[in-house]
Amino acid sequence: MKFYEQYPMMKPHVGSKYGCGNAPRLLLIGESHYLPDEATQHLDTETWYGKNSSTLNPEEKDHIDTAGVVKSACDENFANPSFSIFANSFWEINENGPHFPEYKHVADHVVFYNFFLRPGLNGESLKATPKDVEFANQAFNFLISVEPQLPAPGGNDRPVRLMW
């Protein structure tokens, strides 16, 4: 999908143990990433979808790095309030499923991505435009269509099949 060529760091997080064994496979879907307050590229729909990550600074790229955000949330034990989406989801999943000693290990067994591909304003939900909805639906349909071809985590040659 062209969008993930423009912003490759926004590809879904695929846990390192996702698809291993007989464990259930879960896709968690968030709303959108957020950029720092001083960022501007995402403020205009046409600009966001017309440009790419080469025009973002390193801090902005870090904010939309899906796998990096999940890793940071776990490494920091969800200390940042913005990580509550992961803390709450992983805790609920762990309590009702695998019962890992630390609920952050749920991240190793799930796929996570944000439905909307244009970041929202910091602390506010994205005010989605028709183009945002179009791109979000394209990405969702793309993920469904390529699910059998997703690479397995850890360099394993066995493909992962996302199921939801």
161 in a domain, yes or no?
no
* DSSP-H helix ranges across the chain: 2-6, 45-50, 58-63, 66-75, 84-95, 130-146
Kindly state whether residue 145 falls inside one of the protein's structural domains. Answer: yes
At residue 158, does pLDDT exceed 80? no
Task: Report CA dihedral (47, 51, 54, 60) to the nearest 10 degrees.
Answer: 40
Rounded CA-CA distance 162/149 in Å is 9
39 has pLDDT over 90: yes
Write out the residue range of the structural domain in which residue 146 sits. 2-155
Structural domains counted in the chain: 1
pLDDT of residue 32: 95
Q: Tokens for 62? A: 């870090």
Q: How many CB atoms lie within 10 A of CB 55?
A: 9
Residue 164 in any domain: the answer is no
Position 11 in a domain: yes
